[in-house]
Amino acid sequence: MAITSDAQPLTAERTGIGLRLPHIAEVVATRPPVGWLEIHPENFLANPHALELLTDLARDYPVSVHTVGISIGSADGIDRDHLMRLRVLVDRLNPVLVSGHLAWSSVGGAYLNDLLPLPYTAETLRVVVAHLAEVQDVLGRAYAIENPSSYVSLATSTMTELEFLHALVHETGCRLLCDVTNVHLSGHNMGYDAYRFIDEFPTEAVAELHLGGFTPEDDEATPGGTLLVDTHAHEVAEPAWQLYAHAVRRFGRHPTIIEWDNDLPALATLIDEAGKADRVREAAIEDRHAHTG
């Protein structure tokens, strides 16, 4: 199944931003020089005015739809009503990418306000493979899976996250959204080498990269006493920029988004962050060429 549509062409040359509701009127009015826009459909499903503005923007910018409400890992199934609402939105916007997290967030029809971790087992793989097929079938397009931010490892896991992602790609041919900040903070929280994780990531499956800010919190249970929390409430931190450069050297140039959801700054700050990502990426691409001749 093709991952892109015939909407505005997606660019890997210029970083995009996560478009949040407080910025939408300014983006409509000023058409800032960002490469593309990523939205959370859940913000627009009950907001017809915002959807009208977004539909207008979709004529000028490639738009990607990044879901937070499709609980692809839920043992009790996908919420079909939500999925059908998503389909209507996707049909209207004709996005260049649709994606969501490798996580679960609903059980018994109740939505939890969190992306919760999955045990990496053959049973979970079977559930996610079946749900991915269902989501792609209903939407009529490919759905890329994002690596989660991790805070705990589940004792029932029989695979590592990387083994699970490789198995998922092998079984479904799906594409992956590599959130570089998630790799950095999960590596810190779980005690693994984030650079090695990038080296062993299924390179051929990478469709998109995410960058966002995180918040260090005191936590006695984490080695070093600090837990890194994926708050999307800050600028991208230096270690995440360095890991991004490493990911670009490893994966090549891929469409990238700056995510910022909490304590939202002025739009200009997001545009600056996107510009920084462009500079870091292009320097890493030059490095890559220098080393491969």
Using CB under 5 A, which of the segments 72-80, 137-145, 159-167, 208-216 binds Fe ion?
Answer: 208-216
Question: What angle (nearest 5°) sits at the alpha carbon of residue 38, between those of residues 33 and 41?
Answer: 140
Considering beta carbons, is residue 53 or 115 the nearer one to Fe ion? 115
Considering beta carbons, is residue 179 or 273 the nearer one to Fe ion? 179
**Residues binding Fe ion: number (CB under 5 A):** 2
Collapse the DSSP code of 19 into the 3-class scheme (helix H, G, I; strand E, B; otherwise coil) and give the result: coil
Residue whose tokens read 């939500």: 82
User: Are 77 and 104 contacting, i.e. CB atoms less than 8 angstroms apart?
Assistant: no
User: Are 146 and 206 contacting, i.e. CB atoms less than 8 angstroms apart?
Assistant: no
Closest approach of Fe ion to the CB of residue 262, in Å: 13
User: Are 135 and 47 contacting, i.e. CB atoms less than 8 angstroms apart?
Assistant: no
Closest approach of Fe ion to the CB of residue 212, in Å: 6
Considering beta carbons, is residue 53 or 164 the nearer one to Fe ion? 164
> Considering the rule CB under 5 A, would residue 273 count as an interface residue with Fe ion?
no
The whole-angstrom separation of Cα 139 and Cα 212 is: 27
Using CB under 5 A, which of the segments 69-77, 83-91, 172-180, 262-270 binds Fe ion?
Answer: 172-180
Supply 72's token pair.
């692809």
> Considering the rule CB under 5 A, would residue 179 count as an interface residue with Fe ion?
yes
Closest approach of Fe ion to the CB of residue 182, in Å: 6
Q: Which of 23, 40, 141, 210 binds Fe ion (CB under 5 A)?
A: 210
Question: What angle (nearest 5°) sits at the alpha carbon of residue 258, between those of residues 254 and 264?
Answer: 170
Considering beta carbons, is residue 53 or 236 the nearer one to Fe ion? 236
Kind of pairing between the strands at 110-116 and 144-146: unpaired
**Contact residues for Fe ion, defined by CB under 5 A:** 179, 210
